[in-house]
Structure 1
Amino acid sequence: MNQPFEFRGLNARPVAEAPGFDDGQGWSGAAGARIVDLHHLLATFRRRLKLFLAVALLVFIIALVVTLKATPLYTATASVMIDNRTEQVVDSQAVLSGLPADTATVDTEVEVLRSRQLAERVVEALALDEDPEFNSALAAPGLADRISNSIDAMFAASAPDKARSRLTGIETQRQRERVVDTVRERLVIRRVGLTYVMGVSFTSPDPAKAARIANAFAQNYLLEQLQAKFEATRQANAWLNTRLDDLRGEVIQAEAAVEQYRNANNLLSASGATLTEQEISTYNTQLATVRAQQAEDEARLSTARAQMARGSTGDDVGEALGSTVVQQLRARRAEVSGRVADLSSRYGPRHPDMVRANRELADIDSQIQAEIERIVSNLEARVQVARQRTASMQGSLSGARGTLAANNNAGVRLNELQRNAEASRTLYQGLLDRFKETTSQEGLEESDARIVSRAIIPGSPSSPNVPLNLGLGLVLAMGAGLAVVVLAEMLDAGLATGEDVETRLGMPHIGSVPLVSSVADARDRHLSPADYLLDKPLSAFAEAIRALRTSILFSRVGHPVRLIAVTSTLPGEGKTTTAVCLARSAAQAGQKVVIIDCDLRRRAVNKLLGIDPEVGLLEVLNGTATLETALYSDDASGAWVLPLTPASFTPRDVFNSPAMDALLTRLGENFDLVIIDTAPVLAVADTRILAARTDAVVFLTRWRATPRKAVGASLKLLDQAGAHVAGVALVQVDMKSQARYGYGDAGYYYGAYKAYYTA
C-alpha cells in the first residue's frame, strides 16, 4: 500500500515516519508504540452500524433457515467398558493376554471401535448395504442420477460381457465402500473422561435404527475380541502338539548318552558330587583351620617379640597376663613391696630387715622374668608345630587336586551331555505344561470388555440443536458483520476528519466546510451555499467559512496573504462555491475582494452568481478590454468578480504570460484579497502555473469522497510547481454523520454546540 506524503519544500517523505502517526484504523504510534484508540473504534462502529446490522441479520436469518430446514437426527449411545477384572477359572496364563487398563490402551480401543473392519462387520450383520439411507444407489434417483444411469447403460451395452462383469464387480465393491464410509461418518466413539468407559454413539433419522446400529457396534466389538482369543488359542495348541512330539524323542536320547558316558569314565558320585570332590572339600576345610591356627600363633609370637624389643620386661605380654604362675608371683611381689615400704618408713636402708626384704623382692622379679621367657619359648614351639601341620595338609590337598583334574577333564564332556539333556527336558516339560493349560482354556476365553449399558431408542432429536445453532449463528453473524465493517473501513479511501488530513497527508487542516443541508433548517435547504451565507450570517456554515478565511490569512506568518488560489483534485468538489463564499465572507467583513474565474472549461462563477458578461479575463489579457470594464460587482455582498465570457476561447498559455503577472500585481495592489477559482490540479496544468504565482493555495477535498492517493498526487504536483499550499480543507461535510464518526475532530461535538448558531 502506498503511504501518503507530506509536502514540505521539495522533499517528500512518508508521513508514517513522523511521531504520532495514526493509521486511521484505531491505532496510533508514538516513539514506536502502538496504542488502541477505543474512541475511534467505537465511533467507526457507530458509523457502520447499519451495515453491521444488515450483514449480521442476513447471516443470522441464513443460519435460522438452515436450522429449521435441517432433517431431525437421533443419536443413540451404548457404553462399553474395558474390564480390568479377570475371571480366574483356571490357574494358568491365557494365550492372548488381557488388555492393560491404562490410558494408551483405552485410546487404542477407541480407534479399534472406529476401525473400518468393525464397520464392515456391522454392515454385513445388519445388511445396511440394502438400506436406502446408507446406499444411495437404492434411493429414488433424481434427474441428474437418471441421466447418469442412462449414459452408463449406453456404454455398458456396447461393452463385452467380461468387461461388463468386471465393471459390475468393481462398482459393487465401490458401492459397499461408500456404504461403510457413510456408516462410519454417523459413528462417534468418545471416551468418558479419564475412565475405562467408551461411548458408542450412532446418528440416524430413524431413532430405532440408531439404537440398533449402536448396539451392533458394541456387540461386534466384544465378539471380535473373543474371536481373536479363540483363534490364538487354537493356533497355539496345534503348534504345541507338534513340537512336543519332536522334543520327547530328543529328551530320551540325551539322557541315555549321559548315563553311557558316566559309566565309561567311572564318574561315580554321591550326594550330587564325586568322591574326589568330597575328599578335596574335607582337605580344604582342614587346611583352612590349621592355617588360621598358624596365623594366630604367629601373631601372638610376633606381638610378644615386638613388645620385648621395645624394652618391655614382659609384664604386658598377652600370654604372661593370662599365666597363673605370673599372677601368683605378682601377688607375692605386691605383698613384699608393701612390707619394704613399711620398713623404709621406720628404718633406714641398711637395716637388716630392710636388706632382707629387698633381696626377697629381687628374687621374685627374677622368677617372674624367667616365667615370661618360658612363655615366649612355648609360643615359638607352637608356631613350629602349626607350620608343619599346614605343610602336611597342603601336600594331601595337592594330591587330591591332581586326581580331581583328571576327573574334570573327563567331566567336561559329561557336563555338556548333561546340559543338553537338561535343556531338552526343561523345554519339553514347559511345553507339556503349557499344552495342558491351553487345552484346559479352550472354550473358557472371555472378552476384555463388557457392555455397561445398551443403547435405547432416543426420544428427542440430537440434531439440529436449535439453541446451539442459533447461538453459533449469532456469533457467526456478529463476526461476519464485524468483518464487513473492517473491510468497508479498509476500502474507504476518503478523508473524514482533520486528523486524517494531518496524519495521512502531512498537511495542515485549515477548516471543514459543512454541507448546508446537514446544518440548515428544512425551510432553508433549497438555498445555495453562497446565498445561505448571506441570509444566515450567524449560522454554522457562515462560521466555518470565516474560520477557513482566518486560517488562510494566518497560514504564512510574517507574509501578507493577498493572492489566494482555490483548487482541488477532481471536478465537482466545490471549488467555485467555496471561492465565492470566501469572497462574500471577506466582503461582509469590510474587505475589498475580487474573485477571478480561471477555470477556462467550466466558467462556474458565472453560473453561480447568475451573470452574463460581455468582456472578461481573457479580453483583459488580450488587451481588447480594460480591467475596469471587465469587473462586475456582486451586489448582494459587495465583492468584485472578474469572470470569463461564455464565448471566449484561446489556445495560448495565457496564465504563463507577462500580462497575467501584471494583472495579478495590479489586483494585489488595489484589493485586500484576490481569490482565484482554478481548475482541478489533476485535470489541467494551468492550475500549477497560477498556484506558483499566489501567496497561498487552498486545497479542497470532498469529505469521504476524494481518494487519498489522488489527493497525494495533486499535492505532489503543487509542491513540484513551487506553490505554497496553506493547507487542506474538507468541504461538503455532513455534520450529522461527522458527529458520529470520529473522536478528536471538532465535528464530533457538533451536537453540543450547534444550538449556539442562528439557523
Structure 2
Amino acid sequence: MSGVSGHEDVDIDLGQLVRAVWARRLKVVTITLLGAGVAFAGAKMMSPKYRSETRILIEPRAPAFANAQTNDAGASPLLDELNIASQVQLLQSADLIKQVINSQKLYDLPEFDAAASGSAFSDLLVALHLKKSPLESPPEERIIDAFTERLQVYQVPGSRVIGITFTSKDPRLAAQIPNAMAAVYLSKQSGAKLASNSEATRWLEPEIETLRQKVSDAEQKVAEYRAEHDLLPTNGGSNFPTQQLNDISAELTRVRGERANAEARSQAVRNALSSGEASDTLQDIMSSQSIQRLKGTESALQSQISDLQTTLLSNHPRLRSLRAQLTDIKAQIREETQKILASIENEAKVASLRQKELEQQSDRLKASSAQAGTDEVGLNALQREAAAQRQLLETYLARYREAASRSDKNSSPADARIVSNAIQPVDPYFPKVVPIVTVVALATLIVTSIAIMLAELFSGRALRPVSRAVEIEQEVIEEVVVPEQPRRTPTPSMLAVSEDEAPSEAVVEPENEPQGEEENEFSVTAVADYLIESRAQLAIAISPTGDDGSAATVALARRLAIVGSRVVLLDMTGSGYPTRLMAENDEALGVTDLLCGEAAFGETIHSDRLTDAHLIPQGMSDMRQAMRGADRLSLLLDALSSAYDLVVVECGAANVAAVSRLTRSKDVEIILSMPEIVEAEFLAAMTDFEEAGYHRVLLMSGGEAEIFPESREAA
C-alpha cells in the first residue's frame, strides 16, 4: 500500500471503501440474515396488539324546537383551538376513565393489572430498585395507569374532530372501549347542560319574585309622585302645564295674526273711502252680498238711463226718476261700505283684546311649567328605576322560560356527535412482521458496512493523496543489526530505511573533561523544564551516538511524566531500544503494525512499565513494507498532539531529510540527545539542521541518562 505524504492533502478513497465491503460480502450477508432471523423470531414471539378508533366532531348543537332567535351565535360556545384542546383533556380526565372502567368492568381483566401481568424483566428491575413495584400503588391507580398507557386522544390537524384510540390484546375490547368513552363523554356533556339549566331555574325563581315586588314598588312610587306634584301625563309625553303653555302659545300666535290682518283690511277700506277711489277692488267690500245687490241695481239703472237718453230729453220725468234712484243707490252703497269698515275695525279690536288675554295666561303658565319641570326631575329618576327593574324582570322571565323548556334530557344535546364508531379490528397493528424484519435487516446491513468502512479508514488503507505527482521511493533495505555496544555504534533510524542512508561508523572519542555548571544546562531535567515552559507539542529527538542517546530520550519522557505532563514517546529507531526499556512486552504492536494496517490506532499505544508515560513501540511488522507509508506519519503526529501535552519522537541516528518527512512545518523542537558529546557529530548535526531552517535545536547531555537504571539493565 502506498503511503500519504504529510505535505499533501488527503482524500477518502470511496472505491477502496466499496471494495472492502465487497470483499467481506459473505460476512455482511451472514450478519444481515442473522439479524433478520432474530427480528423475525422476536416479532413472532411478541403478543399481538389491536387498535381501534372512534372520532367525535365538536360542534354546537341546539334542540330541535329551537328557532333562529334563541339559537343565536352569542349563545353558542366558541369553537377555537383552546376549546378543542380542552375537550381533549376532558376525554382524558380521571373521572371519565373511572366511569368507563366501572361500566366495562375492566378491573376483572388481568391485562389492566400491572402486578398480575408482571414479567421477569420487570421483577428484576424492581429488585434492583430501578423501577417502582406495582404492588405499592392502590389497585384503582394501577388500573387507571394501565388504561392511560393504552389510550390516545388527539385532535385531527386542521379540523374540530377528536380521535379516541385504544390498544388492547383483545380486538373486541379495542373497539368497545373507544365507543364507550364517546358515549360517556356525550352523556356527561348533555348532563352538564341539564345541570346548568336546572341550576338556572332554581336560582331564577326567587330572583323573579323579588324583582316583581321591586317593580311594583317602583311603579307605585311613580304614581304617588305624579299625584303629589300634579304631573298628569299627556298624549305628547310632557306634563300638563307644559302642554297648556304650548297650546296658549299657538293660540296667541294665531290671534296676533288675525289682529294684524283685520287692522290691515280696515286701513285699506279707510284709505279707499277717504280718497274717493272705487271700492270694487277691495275684497272685503266686494264679498258683501248687500254691496253686490246694490252694485247690480246701480248697473241696471245706468243701463236704462243710457237707453232712454237716446229717445227722451234729459228733463224727461222718466229720466229724472231714474237718476234719482241711481243717486239713492250710490248713497246706500256708501252706507254699506261704512258698515263693512266698522265691522272690520271691530274684528281688530276683538283680536287685540284676545291677544292681551292670551298673553296674561301665557305668563301664568310659564311659571307653572317651570315648577313642573323641576318636579319632573324626581319623577324621571323614579321612572328610570322602575324601567330598569321592569327590564331586568323581563330578562329573567325570558331566561327562566328558556331554561325551563330545556330541562328535559332530549332538549339539551351535547355539543358534539360521533362521526365514526370504532369497529373490531381483524389484523393486529403490532407487531408488523415484514416491516420489522425489513428494517432490522437494512439496519444490520448498514451498520455492518459502516463498521467495515470505519475499519478501513482507521487503518489508513482508504486514504489517498489528492496529488500523486511524487511517488514515494520504495527501496529494499538491509537487515538492521543491533551492535553489542550501542553507545559507541549508532543505529540507523527507521526513517533512513526509505532513503538508503548508511550509518556513520567513524566515531570521535571526545575528551571527557568536567564541565561544571555548563553540564547542568543541557541535562535531562533542564530540557524537561524548557519543554514544559515552552508548552511545545512535538519534539524530535535525534541520537547520533546510538542507543545511549535513546536511553536519555526515555529518561526525558519519564521525567516529564513524573512532573505531571501527558507525554507519549514514539519509537522510530532501527534498534527498538526505547521499546525494550519501556514496554512490558517486546512484541507489542507498534508503528510498523499501524503503517502496514495490521493494528488499529488504539492498539499501538501502551503504558510505560515504570511511569505514567505512554509508548508507541517499534512494532513487529516488516519495516520495508511499513516505511512505504512513512509519509502518513504526519497524520499520526497530528492526532497524538491533540491528545497529549507533548509528543516525543525518538528517531535514532536520523538526518535532516528524514526528520523533514515527519512534520509539515519547521516549528518543532529538535533535541540532539548525546549523553557523551562527540564533537564532530554534534557540530555536523547542528550545522545541517540550521541550514535546513530548524533554528530551535537543543542539546541534551549530562549524567542523568541513568534514570531508573534497573530498566536499562533489564534491557
Q: TM-score, normalised by structure 1?
A: 0.46
Larger radius of gyration: 2
